[in-house]
Structure 1
Amino acid sequence: MVLYTPLSETDIFPADQNAYDSTVITAYKQTTVKARKLENGNYQIVQLLSTDPFDYLHPDYQPGIQFNA
């Protein structure tokens, strides 16, 4: 079987399913992000979910930024 997709192999076949269990989709500074809940109670941005191209240039929405919900 051949699977043609722009996604990486790890997105289709995740090695660690528990890593995806702790992700939530939430609002952060008026923009929607996918974030991972950390052990200390904060969230870490995994992915920006926005249709505004200028949001992707904003440094506050970079993956890896931690915030309180």
Structure 2
Amino acid sequence: MILYTPLSPELVLKGLREPVPRFRGAVIGGVPVLVEELAPGQGRLVRLLSTNPFDYLNPALMPGVGVAFLSSSP
């Protein structure tokens, strides 16, 4: 594959070797969310998937909040 670009190869390939974050869907208090898995059983809330606008006002569901979950095989 040939990539034609005016950018330097370092800039184009930046971040290529960084690990890809693992995301999984979860339900916290009846609210569907997207969680980034940091370690087995531990994660960080990334995104709310709820359609209820009042869920976005809940400080326990703010993005960046640490969460614990039971690990299950996919």
TM > 0.5: yes
How does the TM-score come out when normalised to structure 2? 0.63
Q: Deviating runs (4+, > 4 A) in structure 1?
A: none
How does the TM-score come out when normalised to structure 1? 0.67
| Structure 1 residue 43 displacement after superposition | 1.5
- Structure 2 unaligned residues grouped into runs of 5+: 1-14, 70-74
Higher Rg of the two aligned structures: 2
- CA distance in 2 between counterparts of 1:30 and 1:48 reads 11
Alignment: residue pair count: 53
Q: Comparing both structures, which one devotes a greater share of its residues to helix? A: 1
- Structure 1 unaligned residues grouped into runs of 5+: 1-14
Q: What is the aligned-residue RMSD (CA, Å)? A: 1.7
